[in-house]
A and B are shown apart, each in its own frame.
Chain A
Amino acid sequence: MVNMLDHVTPSADPAIEKLGFDEALAELQRTVAELEAGGQPLERALALHERGAALLEHCNRLLTDADLRVRQLVAVAGKGLQAVDVKPDEAQEVPESGAG
């Protein structure tokens, strides 16, 4: 089976790839703290370091590659509120007459 991500990030942990920024950051902070506390067997330390580096890389990539996503909240008759993806410069002025 071919992993579609292989050609992009050959060494990336797929579990890390799925993490959101905040989750990855929180885990990174835990990892650093644990490694700094020390006292673990060498294998554990190496694993922590490797995971920390991967988390860091993931955070960095998210920060670098992210594009601001904008959704506009509109009231659709009969459907209530809907958040519609828009480009920032294509957002629409309010057409309605105050129904909310």
Chain B
Amino acid sequence: MTRPQPPDWTLPAWDALPDERAPAARPPVAPGTFGLRILNVSDVSRAIREAVRGDERLRDVWVEGEVSRVTISSAGHAYFALKDERSQLQCVWFRDERLRSAFEPQAGLRIVVHGRVDLFEPQGALQLYVESIQPAGFGDLALRFEALKARLATEGLFDAGRKRPLPSRPATIGVVTSPTGVVWRDISHVLARRWPLARVVLVACRVQGEGAPASIVTALRRLDRYIEECRAAGRPEDAPAVTILARGGGSLEDLWAFNDEAVVRAVVAHTVPLVCGVGHEVDVTLADFAADVRAPTPSAAAEIVVPDRLEFAASLRRANDRLRNAMGARLATAARDLAVERRALDRLSPVARLAAGREQVGLLFDRATRAIEARLAGDGMRLERAADTLSRQATGRVAAARAALSGAAAALAVLGPQATLDRGYAIVRRTADGAIVRDPADAPTGTALRLRVARGELPATVDPDGRG
């Protein structure tokens, strides 16, 4: 907000008539003389404030003008100037009032402001304290609108505490509008795209002209009755859980049906939460104030009442993930349990025992093998050593034996018959039994004899002649 110029109250007003009469008509006042009173700033401010506040016309004003220099303070108050060709008026719109309105001042917009004029003494600023703002073009209607709004507001019909929350996924949705316009088409398209699971109960009504308010009221009451019938018949899912009241954009007069008192009361009395989507963003009707939720447009109303199935599919995917994770965790636990059990089982099973036995046998076998091998290795060495000894002993013995043998052979040769035979003796044996014949009686006549001589044997027979 810019600091306004100091009041130019010492100068003539822009429309003051120039005083063309002779200055002599005024009593001359010399500077510095008595009669002059020097005021301080606060005195002047108070004088202005009293003058402003005392003026009926400034206490409750409707001012039309063009918005410029809008700023919103960090506290949420809006400051702007309202101007026409000649003048500007500083306006202040406090946060609470501003947030209650669906309408925002924007530079260049022609609006009608309702409020009071007062002096902001710290800055000496004369300002319009705004209570409400409407788009320009109201004329008389604006006054009627405000008057009715004020009256219904005092009844509490617009209280925030009255607003009901919308159901999150209504199975059935009531729609009250004209079914032949683009509005109904938009609404049904949005519902079909976002949440085709919904069922729609359409109640046709006129939304402009003389009969429109009565038609809207009738439609809402029919819907009320239908909801009641469905519930009574035990088919609560057929009853709309939320209702859309909608109309497309139009002139102020076109939308006037939604400022009708009977319509407002029917909206307030409606059995289920009601979303009002009338006109465009800037259009605000009393039905909007009375509704549980105000949607900026009819399509927006349809979007507000149902979730988007694509977003919902994402939450289903999350549910799927959770399902899978939980099952995965459970299976992991089961696998761990199973592993524990299997180990326990493995220890107890006959195969395992056999294996264990086998293993033990194997170990023993190994030990035995190693022991035997070790022993064998030792034995082998001993054996080798023994063999060595043996062979050395054997060789010695053989040599000794040979020596003994050759000695014996020599002795034998000395003791044997050969030498005697060599000297011409013979050994006589009976051929029949080989017995050596030492007595002639042993060899009667005819006995076959063998005679061994030095170089061989001779056969002989005992001859009878020579005997005797």
Residues of A within 8 A of B (CB): 20-22, 28-29, 31-32, 35-36, 38, 40, 42, 45-46, 49, 52-53, 56, 59-60, 62-63, 66-73, 75, 81, 83, 86, 88-89, 91-94, 98-100
The stretch that binds A, out of B46-54, B276-284, B312-320, B365-373, is B312-320
Give min CB distance, B3 to chain A, whole Å.
59
**A35 near B330: Cβ-Cβ < 8 Å:** yes
Q: Which residues of A contact B309 (CB under 8 A)?
A: 63
Chain B contact residues, majority secondary structure = helix
User: Contact check: which of A32, A75, A92 meets B323 at CB < 8 Å?
Assistant: A32
**A92 near B204: Cβ-Cβ < 8 Å:** yes
- Given A56-B316, A93-B179, A100-B222, are A38 and B330 neighbors across the interface (CB < 8 Å)? yes
Task: Give the residue among A35, A63, A72, A91 with the most B Cβ atoms within 10 A.
Answer: A91
Kindly state the interface size class of chain B when it binds its partner. 35 or more
Query: At the interface, yes or no: B229 with Cβ under 8 Å from chain A?
Result: yes
Complex-state Cα separation, A28 to B365, whole angstroms: 63
The chain A residue sitting closest to B333, CB to CB, is: A38
**A100 near B323: Cβ-Cβ < 8 Å:** no
Residues of B within 8 A of A (CB): 169, 171, 178-180, 184-185, 188-189, 191-192, 196-206, 211, 214-215, 218-219, 221-223, 225-226, 229, 237-238, 309, 312-313, 316, 319-320, 322-323, 325-327, 329-331, 333-334
- Given A42-B334, A92-B204, A94-B215, are A31 and B316 neighbors across the interface (CB < 8 Å)? no
- Given A68-B196, A81-B225, are A89 and B319 neighbors across the interface (CB < 8 Å)? no
**A36 near B326: Cβ-Cβ < 8 Å:** yes
The total number of A-B Cβ pairs within 8 Å is: 128
The chain B residue sitting closest to A56, CB to CB, is: B320
**A71 near B201: Cβ-Cβ < 8 Å:** yes
Q: Which residues of B contact A66 (CB under 8 A)?
A: 196-197
Apart from A32-B322, A67-B192, A93-B179, 16 more pairs, CB < 8 Å: A20-B237, A22-B171, A31-B323, A32-B323, A35-B327, A49-B323, A49-B327, A52-B323, A68-B191, A70-B199, A70-B200, A88-B200, A89-B185, A93-B180, A94-B215, A98-B214
Q: Which residues of A contact B191 (CB under 8 A)?
A: 68
User: Contact check: which of A59, A68, A100 meets B316 at CB < 8 Å?
Assistant: A59
Give min CB distance, A84 to chain B, whole Å.
10
Q: Which residues of A contact B178 (CB under 8 A)?
A: 93
Q: Which residues of A contact B204 (CB under 8 A)?
A: 72, 91-94
Mind listing 16 A-B residue pairs with CB under 8 Å? A20-B237, A36-B325, A38-B333, A40-B330, A52-B319, A68-B191, A70-B188, A71-B202, A72-B203, A73-B222, A73-B223, A88-B184, A91-B179, A91-B184, A98-B214, A98-B215
**A71 near B200: Cβ-Cβ < 8 Å:** yes
The chain A residue sitting closest to B225, CB to CB, is: A81
**A22 near B169: Cβ-Cβ < 8 Å:** yes
Complex-state Cα separation, A31 to B319, whole angstroms: 10
Q: Which residues of B contact A49 (CB under 8 A)?
A: 323, 326-327, 330
